[in-house]
Amino acid sequence: MEKLELEITETIEDGKYCLFAKGRVDSNTADSLLSKLENALKTGQKTIILNMSKVNYLSSIGIRVILKIYKQLNESGGTFNIDRPSGIVRNVLGMVALKDLMVTN
């Protein structure tokens, strides 16, 4: 059986912490995404952009990770946005009424 993973690439562009996610965000991979995002918060990042153009699955636990970081940044005066979500991600976020709140493109 093929192991399904999540690849995460990090960059800082114009003072913004950018993550590019590729693969599935589910119960097996959500912790790695959460870890990367929490590390960004610990280092003082105030603007986080998560590119999800290559994410082909987003589970409820993935939504929980995204919402947790969004709330933490919002409370500290920072911003969290999802950039270029795949069609699947856009549909899932739309179903849980988060698309308009977080999606920039």
Look up the pTM and report it.
Answer: 0.88
Mean pLDDT across the stretch 91-96? Answer: 87
Phi-psi region of 68 (alpha: psi -120 to 50; beta: other; left: phi over 0): alpha
What token pair was written down for 91? 């549909």
- Taking a C-beta distance cutoff of 8 angstroms, is the pair 31, 62 a contact? no
Mean pLDDT across the stretch 79-90? Answer: 93
Tell me the three-class secondary structure of 34-52, residue by residue: HHHHHHHHHCCCCEEEEEE
What token pair was written down for 24? 């599935």
- Looking at domain 6-102, its CATH class is alpha beta
What token pair was written down for 58? 């987003």
Mean pLDDT across the stretch 51-60? Answer: 95
